[in-house]
Amino acid sequence: MAIQKKHGKGRLDKWYKLAKEKGYRARAAFKLIQLNKKYGFLEKSKVLLDLCAAPGSWCQVAAEVMPVNSLIVGVDLAPIKPIPRVITFQSDITTDKCRATIRQHFKTWKADTVLHDGAPNVGTAWAQDSFNQAELALQSLKLATEFLAEGGTFVTKVFRSKDYNPLLWVLNQLFTKVEATKPPSSRNVSAEIFVVCRGYKAPKHIDPRFLDPRSVFAELAGGTPNNEAKVYNPEVKKRKRDGYEEGDYIQFKEIAASDFIQTSDPIAILGSYNKLSFHQSPNGDIALAALDKLPETTAEIRECCADLKVLGRKEFKLLLKWRLKVRDIFGLSQKKAAAPEVAEEVAGVESMDEELRIQEELQAMKDNENAKRKREKRKENEQKRREIIRMQLNMMAPMDIGMEESGPMGEGAMFSLKTIDKSNGMNRFSRGKMITVPNTETKAAEETLDASAEAAESDSEEDLLETELDAMYEQYRERKLEADTKYRAKKARKEHKDDEWEGLSGGEDADSDASELKEEDDDDSSDDEDEGLPKNGLLTDLDGQAGESQDGLSRKASAFFSQDIFKEITGGSLLGAEEEDQETAPANGTKARTSELPAQKTMQKLSLQDDGVDSEDDQEFEVVRGEEEDDWEEKDKRRSDGRIDIDIVTAEAMTLAHQLATGQKTSHDAIDDGFNKRAFRDKDGLPEWFLDDEGKHDKPQKPITKAAAAAIKEKLRAFNARPIKKVREAKARKKFKTAQKLEKLKKKSDMLAADEGMTEKEKAESIQKLLSKAKKQKPRQPAKLVVARGLNKGVKGRPKGVKGRYRIVDARMKKELRAQKRIQKRKK
Ligand X SMILES: C[S@@+](CC[C@H](N)C(=O)[O-])C[C@H]1O[C@@H](n2cnc3c(N)ncnc32)[C@H](O)[C@@H]1O
Active site (catalytic) residues: 157
* Strand pairing report for 192-200 and 111-116: unpaired
Burial 608-625 (b: 16+ CB within 10 A, else e): bbeeebeeeebeeeebbb
- Contact between 148 and 202 under an 8 Å Cβ cutoff? The reply is yes
> Which positions from 71 to 110 touch ligand X by CB under 6 A, shown as an x/- string?
-----xxx-------------xxx----------------
* Min dist. Cβ of residue 175 to ligand X (A): 21
Beta strands in 21-172 (DSSP E): 47-51, 71-76, 87-90, 111-116, 148-159
Q: Tell me, by CB under 6 A, how many residues bind ligand X.
A: 26
* Min dist. Cβ of residue 178 to ligand X (A): 20
- Report the C-alpha gap between 328 and 336 in whole angstroms: 13
Closer to ligand X by CB, 79 or 586: give it. Answer: 79
* Min dist. Cβ of residue 94 to ligand X (A): 5
- Report the C-alpha gap between 553 and 507 in whole angstroms: 13
183 lies in the site for ligand X, by CB under 6 A = no
Closer to ligand X by CB, 34 or 57: give it. Answer: 57
Bind-site residues: 56, 58, 76, 92, 117
- Which residue lies nearest ligand X, judged by its C-beta? 123
- Reduce the DSSP state of residue 331 to 3 states and report it: coil
Closer to ligand X by CB, 30 or 316: give it. Answer: 30
- Contact between 179 and 41 under an 8 Å Cβ cutoff? The reply is no
- Report the C-alpha gap between 475 and 593 in whole angstroms: 41
In this structure, the number of other CB atoms found within 10 A of the CB of residue 51 comes to 28
Q: Of 28, 66, 137, 708, which lies in the binding site for ligand X, with binding defined by CB under 6 A?
A: 28
Count CA within 13 A, CB hemisphere, residue 652.
Answer: 7
670 lies in the site for ligand X, by CB under 6 A = no
135 lies in the site for ligand X, by CB under 6 A = no
- Report the C-alpha gap between 207 and 205 in whole angstroms: 7
* Strand pairing report for 148-159 and 192-200: antiparallel
767 lies in the site for ligand X, by CB under 6 A = no
Bind-site residues for S-adenosyl-L-methionine: 56, 58, 76, 92, 117
Q: Of 86, 118, 444, 593, which lies in the binding site for ligand X, with binding defined by CB under 6 A?
A: 118
Closer to ligand X by CB, 80 or 396: give it. Answer: 80
Closer to ligand X by CB, 35 or 577: give it. Answer: 35
25 lies in the site for ligand X, by CB under 6 A = yes
In this structure, the number of other CB atoms found within 10 A of the CB of residue 409 comes to 20
**In three state form, how does the secondary structure of 179-203 look?**
EEECCCCCCCCCCEEEEEEEEECCC
Closer to ligand X by CB, 78 or 294: give it. Answer: 78
* Min dist. Cβ of residue 58 to ligand X (A): 4
Q: Of 15, 56, 185, 271, which lies in the binding site for ligand X, with binding defined by CB under 6 A?
A: 56
Q: Of 18, 105, 120, 227, which lies in the binding site for ligand X, with binding defined by CB under 6 A?
A: 120
Give one DSSP letter per residue of 1-41, joined into a string: -PPPP--GGG-SSHHHHHHHHHT-SSTTHHHHHHHHHHH--
57 lies in the site for ligand X, by CB under 6 A = yes
Q: Of 33, 63, 129, 581, which lies in the binding site for ligand X, with binding defined by CB under 6 A?
A: 129
Q: Of 117, 315, 499, 528, which lies in the binding site for ligand X, with binding defined by CB under 6 A?
A: 117
58 lies in the site for ligand X, by CB under 6 A = yes
* Min dist. Cβ of residue 447 to ligand X (A): 54
- Contact between 623 and 599 under an 8 Å Cβ cutoff? The reply is no
Q: Cα separations (Å) of 264 from 285, 330, 406, 588?
A: 19, 15, 71, 89
Q: Which stretch binds ligand X (CB under 6 A): 111-119, 207-215, 516-524, 794-802?
A: 111-119
Closer to ligand X by CB, 118 or 266: give it. Answer: 118
Binding site for ligand X (CB under 6 A): 25-26, 28-29, 52-58, 76-78, 92-94, 117-120, 122-124, 129, 136
